[in-house]
Amino acid sequence: MNQVISDRAQILRSALELDRPLESVLSELTQLPWDSEFAPVTLEPAHVIAILNRFKSGSLNAQDVETWANVIEGREDIAFPPDSRAALKEAIFELANPDLQGALTAETVDRWIAYLKSGRPKSDAY
């Protein structure tokens, strides 16, 4: 893997895991070209669950979660596992669009976590 691919993958991993301050990750992402021929990282349910748990614990606020989801939404260089692709895309869309989907609350977070952990259709998780 060449250095450019490695750097892109590391920045994207930091975005998925939010392992550093959001502003730092956003700054690095703006330096990456938007188009990419490959997806060096995969968003897993555990990534979304970890972000939602950080919201529940108070280490992230609703705006942080919205910004994080907007970073993920629509990127061609982030893959989704086939078995949870639909659920993850739906979660990211809803988290990125609180004006359309409603404000993030502890109750909605608990439902999303249950849904993502269960692998069942969303209607069964509610």
Residue 1 confidence (pLDDT) above 50: no
* DSSP-derived secondary structure letter, 38: S
> Per-residue pLDDT for 5 more than 60?
no
Contact, 17 vs 50, CB < 8 A? yes
Task: Give the tens place of pLDDT for each residue, 12-30.
Answer: 999 999 999 999 999 998 8
| Per-residue pLDDT tens over the stretch 39-97 | 789 999 999 999 999 999 999 999 999 999 999 997 888 999 999 999 999 999 999 99
Q: Which domain holds residue 66?
A: 3-125
Share of the chain residues as helix, strand and coil, in percent rounded to the nearest 5: 65, 5, 35
How many separate domains does the chain show?
A: 1
Confidence of residue 120 (pLDDT cuts 50, 70, 90): low
CA distances from residue 88 to 33, 115, 116, 120, 121 in whole angstroms, order as listed: 24, 10, 8, 12, 12
Is it the case that residue 98 has pLDDT exceeding 90? yes
